[in-house]
Structure 1
Amino acid sequence: MELLPALILGVVVVAISTSLSKRLGVAGPLILVAIGLAASWLPFFPPIQVDPEWILIGVLPPLLYAAAVRLPAVEFRRDLPSISGLAVALVVVSALAIGGFLMLVLPQLGFPLAVALGAILSPSDAVATSIVKRLGISPRVVTILEGESLLNDATALVLLRSAVAAIAGGFAFADTVGMFVWGIVAAVVVGILVGLLNLWIRARMNTVAATALGFVVPFVAYLPTEHLGGSGLVAAVTAGITTGQGAARRFTAEQRVSDEINWRTVELILEGGVFLLMGLELRGILDDNYRQQSGPGKALLLAVAALAILLLIRALYVSALLFVQGRRARSRQRDRLEQISERLENLPPDFERRWRDPRITRRRLPGMRDRVTRAFNDLDYYEASPLGWKHGTIIVWAGMRGVVTLAAAQTLPRETPDRELLILTAFLVAVISLLLQGLTLPALVRMLRIPGGDDATLEREERAALERDLRIAALERLADPTLTTDEGGRFDPVAVSRARARLERAADEDAGILARELQLLTITTMRARLLELARAGAYSSEALRESQRRLDAQQVSLEMRQSDD
């Protein structure tokens, strides 16, 4: 099949499968894998073999960047220790365990190659996140799974590169560890720099030019990092997180609206296309295996055993994680915070005068109070959404393998012993994991009967409380006697009075009868308050993001009408 018709057909299949997934209640990636598997056996369909470099360089950087831009920053920060443990420590432990198992059953591989395959099989895939979201599981579980799937791909590929280098040059523990650490550190530094540069440059461009430039940011982070010996995927993720957190302050409303739609579309096409390719490649992988290994039986046994080991290690790790979290004395932390808060509130009036440099105190005290407030909000979050053994069971079973496992397996050097066997093993681990765990996860959730309140009601209440906070900020701004237009003139008092009345009644947010400048002022005030609430961690990322979308949509609409005048 020629390239252009194949691309058109692939986009059509991805779009239709995504639409069907909502009606059928099955995750779109699972449908695409099944379609690919079925199509690979059609007699008129030629075997497909995609260069893994296309996946690792052309697909994964923008795919991970798109997910990182939308990362729920507040929850990610709160559960960063758990996420980093799953994404780094668990990947390393799993790779070593799989390496030890393969050394027992295939001693001819050698330790570095066995660990390399362990690194290939260790990272979980983001498809679990879409399934869990649809099942209504605790948002905290979703955040942990989403953060893990973002970071563990990069960890696994850095470990794979270190193992392959050890195969070529001989294994040296210190050199391998040094290479691993450098791969992460260099990537984080480059990713942050690229993200900040992206924010600075695009904030000074119009929306069309900024959008065009935004598409190359993942690759701008990826390529120099790889040249320095770091992980390009870690750099792409870091650049995405930096951009996502700075967009609310640096970009215009139109740029944010454009970016969200564009990156959601990119994510849909790339992720769907890769899962479709997973199924389509089965035929060629099996043909290679038949030529070299006389059948898939050995690979199937290895895949089942490896998947069982991965799930067992994951279960033990998550159990230990929950045990450690359960032992934390939240009540003692709250007591200490209350003591600190009381001291800050009861500082003597002449405290600043007695301080050697009162300017330092004026800068530090608000920051200290903000940190205490944020710590209280964090404790409220932990207490409101504790992780029990049922949540841990979902985290364990949702650790499915996918895109990175298959793509990374095909990067093994051509001279690798039993290469076809190892590639097929990796492929079978990914497919069995996706189909077995992905299809049974909804039934497991129903069986566990995880307790929870009315999530829809809680979300409505949180959004209503957030809207009240934003309206109060706007009302206070409108009550300011020094309120003026950008040109220095006073606003019409009647218009101000009408705006206040509408805000107090929480009426239609598009106050069409008011001056557009006044509406833009209230939007700007609300957005500033939204950023303050985001820093304090007072509301969930989803509620904050939804309010940001609404404010952006209103501002874009107003600005479009202004341009028509």
Structure 2
Amino acid sequence: MDESIGHFVALLAVAMLVAIAARRLKLPYTVGLVVVGAALKFSRLDLGEHLTHDLVFDLILPPLLFEAALALSWRDLKRDLVPILVFSTVGALAATFFVAEGMTLLLGWPFASALVFGALIAATDPVATIAMFKDNALHGRLRLLVESESLMNDGAAAVIFVASLAWAGAGAAASADGSSVLSLAGVAVGGLAIGCLCGGLAILVAGRTSEHLVEAALTTITAFGAFLSAEYFHASGVLATVAAGLVMGNLGVLADDEKSYLTNRGREFAVPLWEFIAFLANSVVFLLIGVDLASMPFGAGEAFAIFVAIGVVLLGRAVTIYPLSLLLAPTRWAIPLREQHILWWGGLRGALALALALSLPENLPLRDELRIAAFGVVGFSIVVQGLTMPPLLRRLGLVTSR
């Protein structure tokens, strides 16, 4: 126990040094963490921790998702709900099958295994995407579209992932037939319902106290409680946490004084508290991503497969964003072309994809190849796309130089 605490403190100490250096060098903080994590691995300095499916799902995702949802205004979200849902459902499905077909044609992978890879890598990652836009101080509708899509598309990705595992003969408890549509609805609706219930109960309890520390504790219980409850009932923990955050944010933190169920001091305390919690979670997860990326065996054959996977994933993102945006062009939800470019290039992959890759069963054909390709795509996504995003945003006139 003492050793684990020491490793955690060491991780945080390294992350804080990276944060200081990244600020001075004007580099994205998340990119710096990944690079330093890889360097630590190559230096053979053992920090004692590695990414696991349980670590990401049980400890990292809930606070990061809740903090992002807490700041989302329902009024803004409702205004662009149609494109968000289109990108996070139709887009996720289309990207999954495009990636599967591409990996089958170009690398000769069995379609079943390629579909598993498409499912775990097609959905954009809320952790990486939200961190990137915070690094670049991007605000407004574009940030809402990209972040909300990444928060919402987990439900579709989870069902496709489980169904594709079953189809690949990996013994998953789902089928890849027409019932997957109903499963998707159940996962999504169940997660939203559980999240709204948890958020509503927390708001009712918060309305009976004037202690800001109790209110803050209730937000913490809600963030983790909604996620774990949804996962227990085989619903989407991501959607549950997002829904709970939306409820507590719009009825508490973001509400006007006379309409809020939280005290003024509680609202003022909650925002920096969750910014701090999210900062710690981001620091740990991206540093560990770097450590685990450097641990993967990258030979000549693996490098070629990674190169192909990166190209196919980027093309898969493009063939969903641009055609779907074209369909929205005649409507009030039209998206300018320059913002479509950011939707495409800003669809990062990160800890969520790695957690799914790490959960692949041993009897899945090409299991190791899928893992290596996933790590390669995530590394490219965070480092290359993360580093090129600031100049791209400036080139398109979406942010000013800092």
TM-score, normalization by structure 2: 0.88
Q: Whole-Å Cα distance in 1 between the matches of residues 76 and 50 of structure 2?
A: 39
Aligned to 1:208: 213
| 1:57-72 map, 5 Å | 57-72=58-73
Aligned to 2:141: 140
Aligned to 1:262: 273
Q: Whole-Å Cα distance in 1 between the matches of residues 337 and 24 of structure 2?
A: 31
Question: Which structure is higher in RCO with an 8 Å CA cutoff and minimum separation 6?
Answer: 2
What amino acid maps onto 1:278 in structure 2?
I
Q: Whole-Å Cα distance in 1 between the matches of residues 329 and 216 of structure 2?
A: 45
Judged with a 3 Å threshold, the aligned counterparts in structure 2 of structure 1 residues 110 and 455 are, in CA distance, closer, same or farther, namely: closer
Q: Whole-Å Cα distance in 2 between the matches of residues 220 and 45 of structure 1?
A: 33
Match among 230, 244, 251 for residue 225 of structure 1: 230
Aligned to 1:36: 37
Aligned to 2:336: 388
Q: Whole-Å Cα distance in 1 between the matches of residues 320 and 118 of structure 2?
A: 17
Match among 179, 182, 190 for residue 178 of structure 1: 182
Q: Whole-Å Cα distance in 2 between the matches of residues 47 and 261 of structure 1?
A: 30
What amino acid maps onto 1:190 in structure 2?
I
Query: 1:334-388, CA deviations, whole angstroms, 9 ceiling, x for partnerless residues?
Result: xxxxxxxxxxxxxxxxxxxxxxxxxxxxxxxxxxxxxxxxxxxxxxxx7xxx742
How big is the shift at 1:319?
2.1
How big is the shift at 1:130?
4.7
Judged with a 3 Å threshold, the aligned counterparts in structure 2 of structure 1 residues 192 and 42 are, in CA distance, closer, same or farther, namely: same
Aligned to 2:100: 99
Match among 272, 293, 300 for residue 282 of structure 1: 293
Q: In the alignment, is the contact (CA less than 8 A) between 2:51 and 2:289 conserved in 1?
A: no
Q: In the alignment, is the contact (CA less than 8 A) between 2:33 and 2:290 conserved in 1?
A: yes
How big is the shift at 1:244?
0.8
Match among 187, 190, 193 for residue 189 of structure 1: 193
What amino acid maps onto 1:122 in structure 2?
A
How big is the shift at 1:131?
4.2
Q: In the alignment, is the contact (CA less than 8 A) between 1:318 and 1:392 conserved in 2?
A: yes
Aligned pairs, number: 390
Q: Whole-Å Cα distance in 1 between the matches of residues 73 and 369 of structure 2?
A: 40
Q: Which has the larger radius of gyration?
A: 1
What amino acid maps onto 1:217 in structure 2?
T
Aligned to 1:124: 124
Judged with a 3 Å threshold, the aligned counterparts in structure 2 of structure 1 residues 159 and 61 are, in CA distance, closer, same or farther, namely: farther
How big is the shift at 1:36?
0.2
Secondary structure at the counterpart of residue 162 of structure 1: helix
Q: Whole-Å Cα distance in 2 between the matches of residues 440 and 35 of structure 1?
A: 18
How big is the shift at 1:8?
0.9
Q: Whole-Å Cα distance in 2 between the matches of residues 237 and 21 of structure 1?
A: 29
Q: In the alignment, is the contact (CA less than 8 A) between 1:48 and 1:281 conserved in 2?
A: no
2:369 corresponds to 1:408: no
Secondary structure at the counterpart of residue 204 of structure 1: coil
| 1:288-299 map, 5 Å | 295-299=298-302
How big is the shift at 1:133?
5.5
| 1:335-484 map, 5 Å | 387-449=335-397
Moved more, 60-69 or 123-132: 123-132
How big is the shift at 1:46?
6.8
Secondary structure at the counterpart of residue 94 of structure 2: helix
Q: In the alignment, is the contact (CA less than 8 A) between 1:163 and 1:176 conserved in 2?
A: no
Secondary structure at the counterpart of residue 215 of structure 1: helix
What amino acid maps onto 2:64 in structure 1?
L
Q: Whole-Å Cα distance in 1 between the matches of residues 290 and 156 of structure 2?
A: 25
How big is the shift at 1:124?
2.0
Q: Whole-Å Cα distance in 2 between the matches of residues 442 and 455 of structure 1?
A: 9
Q: In the alignment, is the contact (CA less than 8 A) between 1:11 and 1:273 conserved in 2?
A: yes
Match among 282, 302, 305 for residue 305 of structure 2: 302
Secondary structure at the counterpart of residue 123 of structure 2: coil
Aligned to 2:3: 2
Aligned to 1:541: none
Aligned to 1:17: 18
How big is the shift at 1:246?
0.9
Match among 223, 243, 246 for residue 241 of structure 1: 246
Aligned to 1:53: 54
Query: 1:537-558, CA deviations, whole angstroms, 9 ceiling, x for partnerless residues?
Result: xxxxxxxxxxxxxxxxxxxxxx
Q: Whole-Å Cα distance in 2 between the matches of residues 302 and 66 of structure 1?
A: 36
Moved more, 413-422 or 184-193: 413-422
Secondary structure at the counterpart of residue 62 of structure 1: helix
Q: In the alignment, is the contact (CA less than 8 A) between 2:155 and 2:184 conserved in 1?
A: no
Aligned to 2:264: 253
Moved more, 307-316 or 261-270: 307-316
What amino acid maps onto 1:158 in structure 2?
V
How big is the shift at 1:233?
1.7
How big is the shift at 1:132?
4.4
How big is the shift at 1:64?
0.8
Aligned to 1:485: none
Root-mean-square deviation (CA, aligned residues, Å) is 2.7
Gaps of 5+ in 2: none
What amino acid maps onto 1:49 in structure 2?
H
How big is the shift at 1:257?
1.5
Q: Whole-Å Cα distance in 1 between the matches of residues 16 and 155 of structure 2?
A: 28
Q: Whole-Å Cα distance in 2 between the matches of residues 388 and 96 of structure 1?
A: 26
Q: Whole-Å Cα distance in 1 between the matches of residues 14 and 62 of structure 2?
A: 23
Q: Whole-Å Cα distance in 1 between the matches of residues 251 and 293 of structure 2?
A: 42
Q: In the alignment, is the contact (CA less than 8 A) between 1:47 and 1:281 conserved in 2?
A: no
How big is the shift at 1:136?
6.3
Secondary structure at the counterpart of residue 118 of structure 1: helix
Secondary structure at the counterpart of residue 406 of structure 1: helix
Query: 1:176-207, CA deviations, whole angstroms, 9 ceiling, x for partnerless residues?
Result: 22222211111111111111111101221322
How big is the shift at 1:161?
2.4
Q: Whole-Å Cα distance in 1 between the matches of residues 90 and 31 of structure 2?
A: 28
Secondary structure at the counterpart of residue 56 of structure 1: helix
Q: Whole-Å Cα distance in 2 between the matches of residues 388 and 304 of structure 1?
A: 30
Aligned to 2:202: 198
Q: Whole-Å Cα distance in 2 between the matches of residues 53 and 95 of structure 1?
A: 24
How big is the shift at 1:150?
1.6
Q: Whole-Å Cα distance in 2 between the matches of residues 128 and 58 of structure 1?
A: 18
How big is the shift at 1:307?
2.3
Q: Whole-Å Cα distance in 1 between the matches of residues 57 and 131 of structure 2?
A: 22
